[in-house]
Amino acid sequence: MRTANIPLREIFNEIPKEKREETRLSFEISNKLDSLMKERGINRKQLAEAIGKRPNEVTRWLSGEHNFTISTIAMLSAFFGKPIITV
């Protein structure tokens, strides 16, 4: 199979570092949330109902594209009884 001539790493490097880091953190938080949900055995709908949110909000949190506020992180940490992030 031939390789496409796409300078992917060069394109990534054109993106401001802080923006790349923002996305990396958002993916990490979404992955942590996903693993806590699996550990608890609950799906998106059940989590949304338990914390009084809409399921599409949980979908956004799990997408890796959400800009989490401290308030949301604190609320999720309190619900799961475990830290979502550590500082």
Partner 1 sequence: MCKTFFVTLRCNIKCKIMSEIELLFVDSGDRCTLYTIQFLSDEQNEFEKFISKFRNDAELNPDFQAIMRFVEQIMDNGALERYFRREGKMNDSVVALPILKSRLRLYCLRLTDKILVIGNGDVKKSRTYEEDNTLQGYVMDLQKFERLLKQEARTGNVEITERQIITDKTFEI
Q: How far apart are CA 40 and CA 69, in angstroms?
A: 23
Q: Is the dihedral of CA 57, 46, 38, 87 positive or negative?
A: positive
Q: How far apart are CA 32 and CA 29, in angstroms?
A: 5
Q: In terms of CB distance, is 14 or 71 closer to partner 1?
A: 14
57 scored as a contact of partner 1 (CB under 8 A): no
Smallest distance, partner 1 to C-beta of residue 65, A: 5
Q: How far apart are CA 24 and CA 32, in angstroms?
A: 12
Of 34, 46, 73, 80, the one binding partner 1 (CB under 8 A) is 34
Amino acid 32 reads K
Of 42, 51, 62, 73, the one binding partner 1 (CB under 8 A) is 62
Residues engaged in binding partner 1 (CB under 8 A):
1-6, 8-9, 11-12, 14-15, 19-20, 22-24, 27, 30-31, 34, 59-60, 62-66
